[in-house]
Amino acid sequence: MNRQVELFLRTVRGRAYPRVVGSLRERAGIIWEVTLPLITMTAFVFVYRTLSAPEEYIGFVVMGGAMTAFWLNVLWSMAAQLYWDKDQGNLALYILAPGPMMAILLGMALGGMMWTMSRAVAIVAAGTLLFGVQFSTANLALLALIFFLTMAALYGMGMLFASLFLFFGREAWHITNLFQEPVYLLSGFYFPVKALGPWVAAAASLIPLTLGLDAMRQLLFPQNTLFGFLSVPVEIAILVVLAVVMIGAARFSLQRLETLSRRHGRLTDRRG
């Protein structure tokens, strides 16, 4: 195996390990991580049932509630991570380490995904049992492909934001808070994104979750494909482009970050 590839993989494994172990040790936290989204989901379910909306809307809500776990993981455990590491004095160690920064962030992503996946599965299971949602399993392979592409593009965005937020310094916390709620609306977590209108929905498609969630809903609820924004093949193609662009931009940004850190030696200064 090429030494650079081996170093990359070992860095990913080494950085993922603490998050995997930490998630196993903090089992009680999953109660709150599942209960709070369920409260929001329940509110939307009662609204839709009061309005006599199609029963598929209940499934839309359950899927949206599950996907919030991944967005919050990207926003708080990826985008703001380097800024927090800088504040704790760990960023200098990352810059000096032989492993690439991309591998460090990828390890964080994979390690955190285990906890996030367990939360998402628990939310879907609870929503299914409580509200009787029925999903179609006719296209599981295509569904898995869409999920993989969505996660690749989404975590690529998280890596890009990690370097960008670091440059903003103390404003990273406020930017992270600013991005949290608007994405719930623009990505259509609790309603079909098509309802926003073609232009707003097209602009919201820059967020990978928008098209990923829309495509998965069309596969899981094929009887109501009219609620879909674009056809599934088109959304898959756009997700591929988004994944390539986000990961490429993240790689360039992180390399630029490392270059500036070594050249000026001020990026890791905790006063920034």
166 assigned to some structural domain? yes
Residue 224: predicted pLDDT: 65
**86, two tokens:** 């800088």
Which whole-number Å values give the CA distances from 49 to 53, 148, 209, in the listed order? 6, 32, 25
Low-confidence ranges of the chain (pLDDT < 70): 1, 23-24, 26-33, 168-173, 224-225, 261-262, 264-272
Length of the chain: 272
SS3 147: helix
Residue 32: predicted pLDDT: 67
Taken in order 7, 75, 251, 268, is the CA torsion positive or negative? negative
271 assigned to some structural domain? no
Residue 28: predicted pLDDT: 65
φ, ψ for residue 182 (rounded to 5)? -55, -35
Residue 11: predicted pLDDT: 87
72 assigned to some structural domain? yes
Residue 266: predicted pLDDT: 58
Alpha-carbon gap, residue 100 to 97, rounded angstroms: 8
270 assigned to some structural domain? no
Range of the domain at 115: 3-264
272 assigned to some structural domain? no
Computed on alpha carbons and rounded to an integer, the radius of gyration of the chain in Å comes to: 19
pLDDT tens digits, 65-75: 888 888 888 87
Residue 264: predicted pLDDT: 63
CB within 8 Å of 174: residues ≥ 6 apart: none
78 assigned to some structural domain? yes
Alpha-carbon gap, residue 251 to 257, rounded angstroms: 10
Alpha-carbon gap, residue 229 to 235, rounded angstroms: 9
The structure tokens 């000096």 sit at 96
234 assigned to some structural domain? yes
269 assigned to some structural domain? no
Alpha-carbon gap, residue 221 to 216, rounded angstroms: 8
The structure tokens 């937020």 sit at 165
Domain count, the chain: 1
